[in-house]
Structure formats: structure tokens, C-alpha cells
Amino acid sequence: MIKKDLLRMLAGFRRFRERFFKEEHSLFDRLSSSGQRPKTLMIACSDSRVDPAILFSTSPGEIFVVRNVANLVPPFESNMGFHGVSAAIEFAVVNLQVENIVVLGHRQCGGILSLFQPQAVKAGGFVAQWMTIAGEAKNKVLAKLPHSDVETLCRECEKESIVISLANLRTFPFIKTAIETRGLELHGVYFDLEQGQLWAFDEAQASFQELTWHER
């Protein structure tokens, strides 16, 4: 018997077919015949509340999305293991020739919370090991705010981990080459889902600045 949640998803797919796929058939016909040509690689969190396509109102084929726990980028490694995130980054940069890479972090990240409350995840498990990538961000925040509460520490670490991922991106040889030869750009963005605010990392000022615009 199919569970109610899956039935709801199937009903959603039917609405997609009726309202979107048929209305935008020319778009899907073009995407299926000529392939994808996204300009941006988006590295986002797996958190179900932060969907890049919805957040930025993008159309199919517009962004190439990689999602993982805490939107982290590991440093480049030359050993040929199973590197899912690195493989996706390589495909986007080398094969798709994207022009931008955006690391999208967010408020209330469970992965970042586990750095300060390790009991929240399985001891010695995959998540705990994965989150060591952001260990430097945690240490930096603790040194800067040694007496702060967990909420404040998490908020700052969520931002600092984006900076770590940007630095790790630059350790990939093919990214360095793309930056130097064809102007590939790297960006860090932070979504505060509590306030509905978007912040961008300003490398010159080494800080996040809120993005504002005039709403109609």
C-alpha cells in the first residue's frame, strides 16, 4: 500500500504534468533535445526547508544543484575514492563549463548544530565524519565568541562554514584553472529562513552583507 506522503507526491507530479510540463513543453523539448546548459552550480544543504529552485525561482535547466549535509565542500583529494560532491563539482566546472559557483548556507542547519551538540547525530557515523570539514569554522567561532549561547554559535558557524567551503573550492586544480582562464566566479550566500533575509559574503570586507532591494 502506498503511503499518504507518496500519494501526495504522485498527485503533485500529476499537477506538474498538467499545469507546467504541458504549458512549458517547448522548454522541456529544448532541454531534452539539446541538453542542459546551466550557468550556475549551486552547492546547497539537503535541508527540506531550503530548496534552491524555489528560493531563487529558477526554471528547469537554469542551475546545477549539489545538495549535502550542511552544504559543505571537502578539500581536493587526489586519491580516487568515492567522492560524490567532488565528482559533481568536476562535472559542473569541466563538462558543463558553469560560470558561477554559489555555496548556499542557511539558518537552523542541523549539521552545524551537531558540531556543538554531537549527541544529535550517530557517534562515529557518516554525518559526524562529514562535519569534520567544518571543524575549522567551529574552532574559529568558539575563539571569537567563547561565552556565547549555542544559537549564536550556530548562526556564526553557519556563515563561517560557507567561507571554509569557498576556500576548499579553490584547492581544486580545475577550478583554479577555470578562474584564471575563463573567469569562473565563486560566491557565498546565507539564507536566514527565520527572517526571510539573504546575505552575501563580501570577500574584500571578510564579512556577510545583507542583500536588499526595493519591493513593489
d(CA 156, CA 139): 11
What does the alpha-carbon distance between residue 170 and residue 166 come to, in Å, rounded to a whole number?
Answer: 7
CA 112 vs CA 35, 156, 199, 209: distances in Å: 36, 10, 18, 21
Task: Indicate the residue type of 206.
Answer: A
Q: Is 5 annotated as a binding residue?
A: no
Q: Is 147 annotated as a binding residue?
A: no
106 assigned to a ligand binding site: yes
Q: Are 118 and 124 in contact (CB under 8 A)?
A: no
Strands (E), the chain: 40-45, 63-68, 100-106, 185-192, 197-202, 207-210
Say if residue 7 is exposed, middle or buried (CB neighbours under 10 Å; 0-12, 13-18, 19+). exposed
Is 154 known to sit in a ligand binding site? no
90 φ/ψ angles, rounded to the nearest 5 degrees: -60, -45
Known binding-site residue numbers for Zn(2+): 45, 47, 106, 109
Known binding-site residue numbers: 45, 47, 106, 109
